[in-house]
Amino acid sequence: MPVDLPVADDVLAAAARIAGHASVTPVLRSRVLDGMAGCELHFKAEHLQRGGAFKFRGACNAVWSLSGEEAARGVVTHSSGNHGAALALAARSRGIPCHVVVPEGAVAAKLANIERHGATVWRCEPTLAAREATCTRIQAGTGAQLVHPYADARVIAGQGTATVELVGQAGALNTIVVPVGGGGLAAGTALALAAVAPGCRLVLAEPAGADDTARSLATGERQTDLVPDTVCDGLRATLGAPNFALLRAWGTEVVVVDDAATVAAMQLAWQVLKQVVEPSSAIALAAVLAQPARFAGQRVGVVFTGGNVDLGALPWHG
């Protein structure tokens, strides 16, 4: 189903709508990491957001955008983790039902978050077709409104509020680096920059084993036939159609990062910043460290997107 593309003003409206529900997360600094990167890094700590990820922003905006009649029937989504937990938490903030379709093999820590926040969990086969079919069945039975993890205008606008907040906290930035999977945060960031920092460059960090965004922007057509193979479980989704349209219009750059560099950056975040971030988050720092010439001497915003790590399966322990 076609999705109306959000605009920059939608991000500003989302910021007003979720104020009082979403946390204002801090911006972290490190002289050690500045020295390693050769630039001034401003880390937006969205892993400290409610639910442990930036995803709460988009989910909250979607839930609180619903009319009273729509809200009463609840919401449904499919998610391997952070979006499902975020939607459950947002639904609980409004006192409405939430259904989350979770594929087999989801990260245990993320599944626990979804259940902790009170959602009804539905399991399915680990394919997009199975996810969508299960969502359709639940919608038919409940009347719940679908809130797609990234190809939803309300979600995209909500995710962009992290950058509005970051620019307000850190001041003028030359570049912002965010991870990209399905593209909700990436597209929302582009819209946010159009609203509050039009001269700021947007760079996306993408795993080498799931580089459909880089290929899509390079060819001018969405590349949807890749089978993802990356430690970044939150970035395995294929770039959404509305997300691609917004990113292509902005002229976004992509840095492709291998998993070893991402895991090394994750260790640095834990050791130097003392922050528990997941691989899908640490890849933004990895992108800066991988191509220092691209960022040399700049003021760079880096969005740490989530911290929901399975402590029983850390990537440096095999």
Please say which residue of 128, 151, 174 terminates a domain. 151
Give the residue-averaged pLDDT of 221-227: 93
- In the three-class reduction of DSSP (H, G, I as helix; E, B as strand; rest coil), residue 79 is classed as coil
pLDDT in the model for residue 309:
87
Establish if 165 belongs to a structural domain. yes
pLDDT tens figures, 57-91: 999 999 999 999 999 999 999 987 789 999 999 99
Are residues 144 and 91 part of one domain?
A: yes
Q: Strand ranges (DSSP E) for 126-220?
A: 145-146, 175-179, 201-207
pLDDT in tens, 82-115: 899 999 999 999 999 999 999 888 878 778 889 8
Q: How many CA atoms lie within 13 A of 293 on its CB side?
A: 0
Q: Please indicate, yes or no, if residue 93 is contained in any of the structural domains.
A: yes
Q: Is the pLDDT reported for residue 1 higher than 60?
A: no
Q: Examine residue 302 and state whether it is found in any structural domain, yes or no.
A: yes
* Residue 198 sits in the same domain as residue 64: no
| Residue 72 forms part of a structural domain | yes
The pLDDT of residue 316: 86
pLDDT value of residue 288: 98
Residue 18, pLDDT above cutoff 90 = yes
Range with the largest mean pLDDT of 93-107, 116-130, 267-281: 267-281
Instruction: Give the confidence band of 308 by pLDDT, cuts at 50, 70, 90.
Output: confident
Instruction: Give me the CATH number covering residue 200.
Output: 3.40.50.1100
For residue 318, name the pLDDT band (cuts at 50, 70, 90): low
**Confidence label for 303 from pLDDT (cuts 50, 70 and 90):** very high
Same domain, yes or no, for 37 and 87?
Answer: no
Within a domain: 62: yes
Q: Please tell me whether residue 154 adopts helix, strand or coil conformation.
A: helix
- Mean local confidence (pLDDT), 148-160: 96
**Do 288 and 227 reside in the same domain of the chain?**
yes
pLDDT of 277: 97
Of the listed ranges 40-49, 85-94, 148-157, 306-315, the least confidently predicted one is 306-315
Query: Are 202 and 306 members of one domain?
Result: yes
Distances (CA, A) of 40 to 29, 32, 80, 255, 288: 8, 10, 34, 18, 11
Instruction: Give phi and psi for 103, each to the nearest 5.
Output: -75, 150
Parallel, antiparallel or unpaired: strands 201-207 and 253-257: parallel
Domain end position, chosen among 151, 182, 216: 151
pLDDT tens per residue across span 22-51: 999 999 999 999 999 999 999 999 999 998
The pLDDT value recorded for residue 82 is 86
Does residue 188 share a domain with residue 45?
yes
The reply to whether 197 and 249 lie within a common domain is yes
Segment 210-216 shows an average pLDDT of 97
Lowest-pLDDT range, 4-8, 52-56, 183-187, 308-312?
A: 308-312
Q: Domain boundary residue among 130, 151, 172?
A: 151
pLDDT tens, position by position, 195-208: 999 999 999 999 99
Rounded Cα distance between 307 and 54, Å, is: 10
- Mean pLDDT, residues 232-243 taken together: 93
Total domain count, the chain: 2
Q: What CA–CA distance (Å, rounded) separates 156 from 138?
A: 23
The string over 5-19, giving b where at least 16 C-beta atoms fall within 10 Å of a residue's C-beta and e elsewhere, is: bbebebbbbbbebbe
Q: Is the pLDDT of residue 19 over 90?
A: yes
- Flag whether 318 is in a domain: no
126, 210: one domain: no
Distances (CA, A) of 235 to 180, 205, 212, 255: 6, 10, 10, 14
| Residues written for the chain | 318
- For residues 104, 308, 205, 261, the Cα torsion angle rounded to the nearest 10 degrees is -100
Residue 1 lies in a domain: no
Locate 17 and state its tokens.
Answer: 């709508």
Q: 88 and 45 in one domain?
A: no
- Residue 217 to residue 168: CA distance in whole angstroms: 29
Residues 129 and 187 in one domain: no
Given a cut of 70, is residue 2 above it in pLDDT? no
Q: Which of 150, 75, 152, 83 is nearest to 114 (CA)?
A: 83
Task: Look at residue 2 and tell me if it is in a domain.
Answer: no
Same domain? For 36 and 168 the reply is yes
For residue 142, give its domain range: 56-151
Q: Which segments of 117-168 are extended strands (E)?
A: 120-124, 145-146
Q: Are residues 163 and 273 in the same domain?
A: yes
The per-residue pLDDT for 108 is: 81
How big is the CA angle at 191 (ends 255 and 174), to the nearest 5 degrees? 55
